[in-house]
Structure 1
Amino acid sequence: MIEKAPTAHSASSGDPTLDRRYGWAEAAFKEGDAQACVEILDQTLAQAYHFTAAWHLYGLAQEALGHKEEAATAWRQCLTLDPNDHFGARLDLARIGAMAAEDATSENFSGTLFDGYAERFDSHLTQALHYNAPDLMRAALARLCDNAGRPFRFATAFDLGCGTGLMGEAIRDACGFLAGCDVSPRMIERARAKTKGDGSPLYDKLAVAGLTAFLASRPDAGADLVLAADVFVYLGELAPAFAQSARVLSRGGLFAFTVQSHEGEGVVVGADRRFAHAETWLQLRLEAAGFTVLATEAVSTRQDRGAAVPGLLVVVEKR
């Protein structure tokens, strides 16, 4: 079942009676009765056409019934009512092939989703999902530096989509100045609370911002390392992020990231509402941005229902 982000936008239609109906529809959907869900929501939406959450649930129920065109219509209505897309309707449209995956990024949905996830993020990710991207990325960077005869030390590093600071904890001892950004204010609060062994803050700078906007605010050629651990699974088109990463890196600077991958071409949105990128697609955009690919490794950074999720770990160098 598709996970919905709990948001203020979904809290109420403004009418307690209609809110109760929405609750019944949601319960029916969760119990596997998509037809009952649709019938309840037909009545609800007839009286509350503005009820964005109901439109999103209506789309999920129609999809479950095999009615993709009706689902797409419902999700487009979500976007009409909520252009900032707090429900991830773009992801759903891309998931069923009704929108190009490259156009489906929804930072507002990601920010809201992770705000609600922040308190249990570390334990759930590392214990339930066996998340290991920070350790894999640190090991790959250390290995490449050792093979190239360069010190495993970075004067200035940027941690994109830093979340609660798991990547920062893994790389902190190799960095002079470490800055991080994330679209979730609560994730940033958790990262800000983390400290180094001497009690000083783990990060020297933290910002609530999308990663491309954060990079755009940084000076040219001022960084030695840019990191994006399991962040690009929430972005479709990566060319702007690649271009900004290249701009902020000094010549010879490193850019390391992980993605979910797939065997086809281009970009797709999976059933988990995450983006998966093809290796050839990544290589073309990295080369266009001014990078030389140093390493591409097939890895799995987490599990889903006990199965390893296929992915790639990529390290490139600014030309």
Structure 2
Amino acid sequence: MIEKGSSVHSTGSGDPRLDRRYAWAEAALKDGDAQAAIEILDQTLSEAYGFTAAWHLFGLAQEALGHNEDAATAWRQCLELDPADHFGARLDLARIGAMPAEDAASENFSGTLFDDYAERFDSHLIEALQYRAPALLKAALARACQQIERPFHFDMVHDLGCGTGLMGEAIRAETGFLAGCDLSPRMVEKARAKTQGDGRPLYDKLAVAGLASFLASRPDHSADLVIAADVFVYLGDLTPAFAQSARVLKRSGLLAFTVQSHDGSGVIVGEDRRFAHAELWLRQKLSETRLLPVRIEEASTRQDRDRPVPGLLVVAERN
């Protein structure tokens, strides 16, 4: 889980004195004294109005006091100063209902986040969060293949948001050509270093790219499987990914993915700053892009604070 207050972009102002104030404010907020944090940040921002990290922290402190309108104003100022949204301000705005969740994704935030996370990614996911998405998704995919009476083998596979290659390791034996993409160069480096049992590279092709741009570069009707394990939790509007997957897939090709889910409608951003998608919303969007759900199963792919996170395993067929 990524903590709500964590930052993956430089928090420096360029002035050591102001940076110390920022650190004091951050410590005060972590200790539960949001008012003290606000008072420190008020002084800091009066001297450095363009201190983006301070605006983001100011928003978190205001939220902690229940001042959501003031928090939203601070996060909008973040976006004014940093339109690329390295601090995930859009996610915070969506989290408090100040922005539609479907508009809140930020590739810059996600890419830098996972660059910082790459060295400890596998061990933290598997040991601390009990991450099981690759194994669960592979099993659901096998059940779907049995259900529609097709071989559990795929000549051309695109692994979206491949990370360090955990999904690739799980599905490699069932693939011919395995291609992966990820926004994080360091994650791709980790995936590139992995090999099969015979010493050959785990992936036949790897690219540092967002999933939409990666799919857009693939030929029409060229893939047998598009798979995305624990990736769509970083995207609100999945329609572009569904549409590109449908274009790239051969007829009867499969799209398999995991999402976090919720009991309401549409798309929301949870306290963990990850997107959760309602099952009905997913069914509607898949149908609009000529993808027919074969299986939708409830499953938790990881833990958060020692509790299972609600989720869905989805396998859809290109018709």
Report the TM-score when normalising by structure 1.
Answer: 0.98
| CA–CA distance in structure 1, aligned partners of residues 147 and 79 of structure 2 | 49
1:131-146, aligned counterparts within 5 Å? 131-146=131-146
| CA–CA distance in structure 2, aligned partners of residues 5 and 122 of structure 1 | 21
Q: Which amino acid in 2 is paired with 1:80?
A: E
| CA–CA distance in structure 1, aligned partners of residues 314 and 111 of structure 2 | 25
The aligned residue for residue 7 of structure 2 is 5
The aligned residue for residue 255 of structure 2 is 255
Kept in 2: contact 1:221–1:251 (CA 8 A): yes
| CA–CA distance in structure 1, aligned partners of residues 289 and 314 of structure 2 | 15
Q: SS of the counterpart of 1:117? A: helix
Report the TM-score when normalising by structure 2.
Answer: 0.98
Q: Which amino acid in 2 is paired with 1:78?
A: C
Q: Which amino acid in 2 is paired with 1:55?
A: W
Q: Residue 25 of structure 1: CA displacement?
A: 0.8
Unpaired runs of 5+ in structure 2? none
| CA–CA distance in structure 2, aligned partners of residues 191 and 304 of structure 1 | 25
Q: SS of the counterpart of 1:237? A: coil
Q: SS of the counterpart of 1:99? A: coil
Q: SS of the counterpart of 1:159? A: strand
1:149-298, aligned counterparts within 5 Å? 149-298=149-298
Aligned length: 317
- 1:195-226: CA deviation from partner (whole Å, max 9, x where unpaired): 00111110011111110111001110000000
| CA–CA distance in structure 2, aligned partners of residues 40 and 3 of structure 1 | 17
Q: CA RMSD in A?
A: 0.9
The aligned residue for residue 104 of structure 2 is 104
Q: Which amino acid in 2 is paired with 1:171?
A: I
- 1:248-272: CA deviation from partner (whole Å, max 9, x where unpaired): 0000000000100001100000011
Q: Residue 112 of structure 1: CA displacement?
A: 1.0
The aligned residue for residue 19 of structure 2 is 19
Kept in 2: contact 1:230–1:259 (CA 8 A): yes
| CA–CA distance in structure 2, aligned partners of residues 193 and 220 of structure 1 | 30
Q: SS of the counterpart of 1:295? A: strand
The aligned residue for residue 69 of structure 1 is 69
Kept in 2: contact 1:5–1:112 (CA 8 A): no
Q: Which runs of 4+ in 1 moved over 4 A?
A: none
